[in-house]
A and B are shown apart, each in its own frame.
Chain A
């Protein structure tokens, strides 16, 4: 005969059937909790505000990417800018236009690629599409445009000089 009962599950501690074991939260405790939590939220927001107010605009170094003729019309050139950990993509959609963006999709950082037929940047992971001309989101889950690399043409050379900062959409 199975006389032994199963041991009490863990949640029974929190929801005991005995009134003596009940962890009663009084109104005062609850109010304290609310006030302290709001205070924490306020302090956190204040910290974020101060940090953004005193933050400096980052300075980017210049970096030569390639020669203008290295990229065919409708072709791309992959490079890394501003550091080795930031893959970027340079696109030449027509004869005189060169644009470059970070290759990381703003949704979940998959690598975007250029689709010459559709004339757009496509992220294969969740079908996020970006405009080639502006980097804006055309469709899909990405929350903001691709960061654009500012390019300068020096003679035959294309040089990256910075990254355009844009507000979130």
Chain B
């Protein structure tokens, strides 16, 4: 079964999200973390828009969360999936929560452990699609081969994100308008730096 999943990638398309919370509920049903969804559906700009975005872990190639972990609790597997924290090691310091540029890790205070999306490692490692991608009715979350996404979507997938001066490449793709190559996110520090540099 694993062979059949070769070439499958995870694609997130915020423009398709209808905010139905199917992914959240499907995620919460998983027996590895029952009752606690590892995916978040957030409103983009609640005051002015009803648009929503699902947030799964982007599985950075060079994961900031793992690099800041003082307890060596976050590991990246050979296939590029950044795992949730290891229970015996996590010291609930919230370093990863603060460091993640996408804001994915969440501290489970009652468990004293950080938990985050691991791309349903129990499923994807044995050839099943991630739970959220299987239930998303609008396929805002899609786990499909590259050819399929290119054939069926106008938007262009990218896995390059610019947070100020930090360039982050990820395993998960985000669908962007065709004219964009990378998603640039303004970071307050960066904005301040730019202003500061131009002034001097």
Give the complex CA separation of A1 and B190 in angstroms: 12
Neighbouring A residues of B167 by C-beta, 8 Å: 3
Q: Is B40 an interface residue (CB 8 A)?
A: no
Interface positions of B from 24 to 76, Cβ below 8 Å from A: 63, 66-67, 69, 72, 74-76
Number of A interface residues at 8 Å Cβ cutoff, please give it.
Answer: 9
Q: In the complex, what distance in Å separates the CA atom of A19 from the CA atom of B76?
A: 6
Cβ-defined partner of B76 (8 Å) among A1, A2, A3, A18: A18
Which residues in B have some Cβ–Cβ distance to A below 8 Å?
63, 66-67, 69, 72, 74-78, 83, 165, 167
Q: Are B67 and A2 in contact (CB under 8 A)?
A: no
Please give the residue numbers on chain A whose beta carbons come within 8 Å of chain B beta carbons, in ascending order: 1-3, 15, 17-20, 22
A15, A17, A18: most-surrounded residue (chain B CB, <10 A): A17
B72: chain A residues within 8 A (beta carbon): 15, 17
Prevailing SS type, chain B contact patch: loop
Chain A at the B interface: SS class: loop
In the complex, which residue of chain B has the Cβ closest to the Cβ of A1?
B165
CB contacts (< 8 Å) of B165 on chain A: these are 1-2
Contact indicator B66/A19 (Cβ below 8 Å):
no
What are 21 sample pairs from A and B whose C-beta atoms fall under 8 A apart? A2-B165, A3-B167, A15-B72, A17-B67, A17-B69, A17-B72, A17-B74, A17-B75, A17-B76, A18-B75, A18-B76, A18-B77, A18-B78, A19-B75, A19-B76, A19-B77, A19-B78, A19-B83, A20-B77, A20-B78, A22-B75
* Distance in Å: Cβ of A79 to nearest Cβ of chain B: 60
| Beta-carbon contact of B77 and A17 below 8 Å | no
CB atoms of B78 and A17 under 8 A apart = no
Taking CB atoms, residues of chain B closer than 8 Å to A15 are 72
Chain A residues closer than 8 Å to B67, beta-carbon distance? 17
